[in-house]
């Protein structure tokens, strides 16, 4: 672990106040308390909501700054947050496995829309799924709430399946961006900086509706604590009782406990990290630790790249590494055969209660990330802060929510129970076995060329390329200023199916590469996704500053980058190493 990141000391200890213990009301729990910093900006004032009601084109043309070409290229000169959908224009959604005519539109397309206001309710404390199973009173409440949700009339917005359709609509292109209709640009809340905030709101309303159904304003969703040793199996609250309303039939039952989750899972024979048992748990913990360590200096690496109005996920932007790990968990739960329902396909994922616990933990990991960065605002950019979505709330109102209002969970009146975070401990992570002690003669070295200027195929065999670093032997101050980032661009997936490749880096021996791929740097994972029949492109950005320290490769001029295909066929547009300005120098 980087010495300057005091992982263990960063989450403030929170003893239970005495009066809580005496009251006998809500049970006393240790919660994650945000650290306050002068950079925190979770509650910045909002611009007037009226601007949201204008057609995007009107706004942009009124300001005189947008040409059609610029819009099409997604390069907008003006502030351009993604606008809320026009619900009245909702249309059929599509999915790679389930076809082009999915009915995912909400039943409230003509309702009046109001601006979201913060709730005035007790602070809800989300607890780990492996803990709540021991609390029969809680389990009774949770199952009752879900049963009531399933029993709502099919066209009621609170109905369980209507709630699942919200995810389908925002993820499977039922909405087009207002002002970008010809050619249409769909609203997509994955693959970018919208991922974490949108899902935070989705869970927020879902949780409050469940609470409303059982008349309990302290009700919380449990989080699937998959970043801890005792949380790395599928939570039994969702698997043990096939007659429970929390049960779902469409899963890979071979992954039920005691099977251990593998962050490197992909379908088929090439699946996974190749580890089992304790070694697999350790491998996952090391991946989580690495994900945090590599992405603390720059929020894009953890949260995903910017995505602005009129822009689609394309070959130059992509998801953060937290989203990639989360994709693998989706795959691991969903059915192993295509169409991989329910969890393995965005259009159906919300039909499995486990979805909300997976996402509660993803949300909690964001909360921890933010805490580790001293509560620093991830993107001080109005295009992120003013990105806006629409939900149906626990008061049966249709509300408009902005990213800026969800950044401090306390304002949404929930937090997480503090549980041990084992990946913050010192771990004995397996490093590359190749060492400098070996002489060249002992290794079978291979010649590895540069990527070249043409796109390259990646399907059955690993693609190894030699990549120059912009600068070697960087000093501490330089590292604090700029983070070294491996960029893989124009990643096109040749099928609509699931896709995954892993990225490794190693130091070369002169111009030659050793047989060992080196250290795992990160991954590209995609659930099946259709996207109007187009080839969906993406990009991958991985922070490697700390990895080079681990590899003892800071003095290397070039690196051997190895892309290991796991499932799917790709075309790769380019591989480069860049130095990007850090947004959090203190934490390099």
204, 255, 359, 529: the catalytic one is: 359
Asked if 474 is part of the footprint of ligand C2O (rule: CB under 6 A), the reply reads: no
**Nearest one of 210, 135, 206 to 166, comparing CA atoms:** 206
**Shortest approach of ligand C2O to residue 199 CB, angstroms?**
6
Q: How far apart are CA 433 and CA 4, in angstroms?
A: 26
Q: How far apart are CA 297 and CA 208, in angstroms?
A: 34
On whether the CB atoms of residues 62 and 45 are closer than 8 A, the answer is: no
Q: Smallest distance from the beta carbon of 28 to ligand C2O, in angstroms? A: 32
Between CA 171 and CA 346 the distance in angstroms is: 6
| Binding-site size, ligand C2O (CB under 6 A) | 9
Give yes or no: 520 in active site.
no
Active site includes 359? yes
Can you list the pairs that 382-386 forms with residues at least 24 positions away whose Cβ atoms lie under 8 Å?
382/47, 382/79, 382/81, 383/79, 383/80, 383/81, 383/82, 383/306, 383/308, 383/309, 384/81, 384/193, 384/197, 384/306, 385/44, 385/81, 386/47, 386/79, 386/81
- Active-site residue among 199, 255, 340, 529? 199
Q: How far is the CB of 390 from ligand C2O (least distance, A)?
A: 16
By CB under 6 A, is residue 558 in contact with ligand C2O? no
Compute the half-sphere exposure of residue 417: CA atoms within 13 Å on the CB side of its CA: 19
How far apart are the C-alpha atoms of 309 and 299, rounded to whole Å? 20
In angstroms, give the least distance from the CB of 214 to ligand C2O.
25
Beta carbons within 8 Å of 296's beta carbon, 6+ residues apart: 5, 302, 369, 372, 373, 584, 587, 588
Q: How far is the CB of 408 from ligand C2O (least distance, A)?
A: 22
Which residue has 């990213």 as its token pair?
403
Which one of the listed residues 7, 167, 180, 367 is annotated catalytic?
A: 167
For ligand C2O, the closer of residues 349 and 563 by Cβ is 349
Kindly write out the interface string for residues 337-356 of this chain, putting x where it contacts ligand C2O by CB under 6 A and - elsewhere: ---------x--x-------
**Active-site residue flag, 199:** yes
Q: How far is the CB of 171 from ligand C2O (least distance, A)?
A: 5
Residue 392 or 517: the one with the smaller Cβ distance to ligand C2O is 392
* Per-residue binder mask for ligand C2O (CB under 6 A), 167-206, x = binder: x---x------------------x--------x-------
- Could you tell me the smallest distance in angstroms from the CB atom of residue 479 to ligand C2O? 33
- The answer to whether residue 326 is catalytic is yes
Q: Is 367 a catalytic residue?
A: no
Q: Which is nearer to ligand C2O, 324 or 584 (CB)?
A: 324
| Nearer of residues 158 and 346 to ligand C2O, judged by Cβ | 346
Q: Which is nearer to ligand C2O, 199 or 537 (CB)?
A: 199
**Which of the following is catalytic: 195, 219, 226, 330?**
330
Told to judge if 219 belongs to the known catalytic residues of this protein, a careful annotator would answer: no
Rounded CA-CA distance 176/401 in Å is 18
Active-site choice (204, 255, 326, 340) = 326
For 197, the token pair is 């905030």
- Quote the CA–CA distance of 364 and 199 in Å, as a whole number: 12
CB nearer ligand C2O, residue 200 or residue 330? 330
Helical H segments across 296-379, by residue range:
299-303, 321-333, 354-372
Set 195, 226, 346, 451: catalytic member: 346
Neighbours of 280 (CB within 10 A): 20
Q: With binding defined as CB under 6 A, does residue 330 bind ligand C2O? A: yes
* Tokens representing residue 255 in the block: 């992954």
| Residue in 469, 457, 432, 459 with CA at minimum distance from that of residue 577 | 469
Selected binder of ligand C2O within 127, 290, 359, 469 (CB under 6 A): 359
Of residues 359 and 536, the one with the C-beta less far from ligand C2O = 359
What's the rounded Cα separation, in Å, for the pair 307 and 362?
20
What is each CA distance from 495 to 63, 526, 537, 544, 556, in whole angstroms?
Answer: 41, 11, 11, 29, 37
Interaction pattern, residues 477-516, with ligand C2O; x per rule: CB under 6 A: ----------------------------------------
326 binds ligand C2O (CB under 6 A): yes
Work out how close the CB of 327 gets to ligand C2O at its nearest, in angstroms, rounded to a whole number: 7
Reference 12, options 38, 40, 33; nearest CA is: 33
Nearer to ligand C2O, 297 or 350 (CB): 350
Residue 358 DSSP symbol: H
Q: Tokens 């329902």, residue?
A: 341
Name residues contacting ligand C2O, limited to 139-168 (CB under 6 A).
Answer: 167
Q: Site map for ligand C2O, 274-313, x if CB under 6 A?
A: ----------------------------------------
Active-site residue 204, yes or no?
no
Judge if the upstream peptide bond of residue 49 is cis by omega within 30 degrees of 0.
no
Nearest Cα neighbor of 111 from 398, 526, 355, 363 is 398
Q: How far is the CB of 349 from ligand C2O (least distance, A)?
A: 6
Q: Which helix (H) or strand (E) holds 164?
A: helix 160-171
Between 333 and 572, whose beta carbon lies closer to ligand C2O?
Answer: 333
Q: Is 526 a binder of ligand C2O (CB under 6 A)? A: no
Return the active site residues: 167, 190, 199, 326, 330, 346, 359
Q: Which residues bind ligand C2O (CB under 6 A)?
A: 167, 171, 190, 199, 326, 330, 346, 349, 359
């Amino acid at each position: 672990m980087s010495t300057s990141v005091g992982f263990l000391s960063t989450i403030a200890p929170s003893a239970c106040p005495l009066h809580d213990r005496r009251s006998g009301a809500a049970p006393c729990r240790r919660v994650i308390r945000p650290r306050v910093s002068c950079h925190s900006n979770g509650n910045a004032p909002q611009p007037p909501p009226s601007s949201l009601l204008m057609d995007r084109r009107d706004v942009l043309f009124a300001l005189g700054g947008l040409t059609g070409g610029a819009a099409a290229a997604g390069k907008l000169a003006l502030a351009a947050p993604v606008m809320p959908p026009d619900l009245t224009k909702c249309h059929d959604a599509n999915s790679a496995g389930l076809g082009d005519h999915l009915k995912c539109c909400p039943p409230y397309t003509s309702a009046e829309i109001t601006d979201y206001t913060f709730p005035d309710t007790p602070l809800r404390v989300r607890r780990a799924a492996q803990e709540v199973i021991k609390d029969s009173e809680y389990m009774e409440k949770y199952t009752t709430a879900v049963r009531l949700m399933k029993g709502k009339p099919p066209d009621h917005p609170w109905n369980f399946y209507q709630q699942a359709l919200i995810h389908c609509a925002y993820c499977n292109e039922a909405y087009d961006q207002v002002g970008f209709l010809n050619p249409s640009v769909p609203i997509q809340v994955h693959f970018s900086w919208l991922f974490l905030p949108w899902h935070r709101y989705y869970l927020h309303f879902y949780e409050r509706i469940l609470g409303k159904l059982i008349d309990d304003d302290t009700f919380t969703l449990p989080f699937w604590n998959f970043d801890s040793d005792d949380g790395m199996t599928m939570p039994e609250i969702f698997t043990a009782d096939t007659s429970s309303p929390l049960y779902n039939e469409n899963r890979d039952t071979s992954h039920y406990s005691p099977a251990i989750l593998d962050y490197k899972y992909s379908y088929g024979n090439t699946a996974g990290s190749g580890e089992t048992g304790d070694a697999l748990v350790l491998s996952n913990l090391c991946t989580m630790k690495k994900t945090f360590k590599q992405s603390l200096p720059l929020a894009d690496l953890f949260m995903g790249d910017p995505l602005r109005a009129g822009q689609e996920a394309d070959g130059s932007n992509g998801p953060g590494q937290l989203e990639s790990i989360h994709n693998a968990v989706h795959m691991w739960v969903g059915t192993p055969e295509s169409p991989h329902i329910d969890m393995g396909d965005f259009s159906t994922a919300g039909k499995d209660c486990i979805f909300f616990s997976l996402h509660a933990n993803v949300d909690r990991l964001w909360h921890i990330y933010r805490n580790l960065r001293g509560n620093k605002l991830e993107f001080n950019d109005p295009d992120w802060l003013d990105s806006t979505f629409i939900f149906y709330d626990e008061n049966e109102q249709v509300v408009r929510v902005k990213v800026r209002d969800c950044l401090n969970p306390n304002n949404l009146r929930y937090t997480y129970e503090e549980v041990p975070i084992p990946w913050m401990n010192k771990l004995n992570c397996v490093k590359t076995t190749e060492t400098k002690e070996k002489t060249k003669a002992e290794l079978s070295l291979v010649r590895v060329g540069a990527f070249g200027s043409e796109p390259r195929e990646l399907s059955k065999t690993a693609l190894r390329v030699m990549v120059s670093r912009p600068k070697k032997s960087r000093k501490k101050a330089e590292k604090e200023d700029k983070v070294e980032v491996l960029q893989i661009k124009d990643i096109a997936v040749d099928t609509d199916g699931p896709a995954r490749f892993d990225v490794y880096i190693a130091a070369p021996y002169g111009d030659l590469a050793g047989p060992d791929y080196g250290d795992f740097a990160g991954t590209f994972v995609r659930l099946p996704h259709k996207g109007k029949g187009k080839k969906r492109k993406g990009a991958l950005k991985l922070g490697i500053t700390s990895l080079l320290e681990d590899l003892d490769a800071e003095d290397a001029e070039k690196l051997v980058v190895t892309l290991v295909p796991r499932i799917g066929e790709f075309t790769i547009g380019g591989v480069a190493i860049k130095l990007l300005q850090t947004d959090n120098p203190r934490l390099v």
